Amino acid sequence: MKTVKLAIFVVLLAAVAAGCRQFSVFETPTPVKQPILINAAAPTAAPQTLTKPDPLTIAADEVDTLLENIYQRANPGVVNIDVAGGANLTEFGSGSGFVIDTDGHIVTNNHVVEGADEIDVTFADGSVTTAKVVGRDTYSDLAVIKVDLEASKLSPLTLSDSDQTKVGQRVVAIGNPFGLVGTMTVGIISGKGRTLPADSPSGGTSFSNPDILQTDAAINPGNSGGPLLNSNGEVIGVNAAIRTDGTNRANSGVGFAIPSNTVKRVAAQLLKDGQVSYPYLGVSVDSNHFTTGELAAALKLPVKQGVLIASVVGGGPAERAGLKGGDRQVTVRGIPVRAGGDIIIAIDGDAIKSFDDMIAYLAARKQVGETVTVTIIRGSDTLQVPVMLDERPR
């Protein structure tokens, strides 16, 4: 009996120790099933957060889009020009040009088509046709040629106002350097108001081609006659020349373009008359090696800007009006200079800073046969002299 009581007591103690969970003396607790882990060693990746593009990346993409758009719109209006001439058409040359209207007129450089007996024009789509010269101008180095095509097949480019160009603005050159058709290069306007020597038709009196645009956009042989474009895809100049180191004809970072305002004026006259007339004052200078300011210091001139007349052309407008050239020769830094002549400081009230400035002013704003008022300094006097402009000698 005592044995039974002891067994019951042991069972009650076990129940208390089990946290008072009630179960049968003969019950076996059911084991708890653990969840099965799948790929437990590979934690779930955190969701990715999308970041905004860097502002510089956005700006670069916008520039790329702009340049692509300029090319797509302008390239159909740019042409490749191949010329042949001489005996049996054995002399060859090539250059570029661009369409200016739906009548088939194309602008290029005079030196591209000068002496050509046959001109072939290749368009961006690969089609080829012949062209004839409408007119050429050696002074500006511009020419207009014409192809006979339907208007629907022509994509004229727009001529902008080159006076609005700024140093530092982005520009694009499209042309055919070394025969590589449809090449585009990019740069900036790196200078304005440059001067290039201009060919004289007679091979005599030398004149200058003023108001030239300077660019660092790569221009090489074959680019001549092609357009220089602004960011709107408008023509601001005609690529014409490069400056090299003299050992090769490759670009060295300095190229030159004839401004579009010159193109407008010259092309209009070529289309109308087949030639261009320029107003002519009939004075020459000896100061090509110096600025007027340098001469002013060396010769003790009363002004630092203007045109010191070295001589007047016999029978020319200046001589007829009574303007005077130098009366003595002096040496400035080892170079002979005629001194004592009148100093032109203004024409029709507009200040004239240099000889190149005067040539550019007359070409852009005055007409043959027009009478202008020339302001000069003679000794201690300031005089205003009326001068009727002649046509530049051909």
Catalytic residues: 111, 141, 224
Name residue 335's amino acid: I
Residue 6 phi/psi, 5-degree rounding, is -60, -35
Task: Give 3-state DSSP helix, strand, coil % of the chain, rounded to 5.
Answer: 25, 35, 40
**Of all helices (H) and strands (E), which one includes residue 212?**
strand 207-215
Angle between helices 355-365 and 260-273 (to 10 degrees): 50
Spatial CA neighbour of 193 closest among 272, 249, 248, 262: 262
Residue 108 phi/psi, 5-degree rounding, is -150, -175
**Of all helices (H) and strands (E), which one includes residue 64?**
helix 55-74
**Of all helices (H) and strands (E), which one includes residue 109?**
strand 105-109
Residue pair 233/260 in contact by the 8 Å Cβ criterion: no
Spatial CA neighbour of 187 closest among 204, 170, 165, 210: 170
> In the chain, how long is the greatest CA-to-CA distance?
162
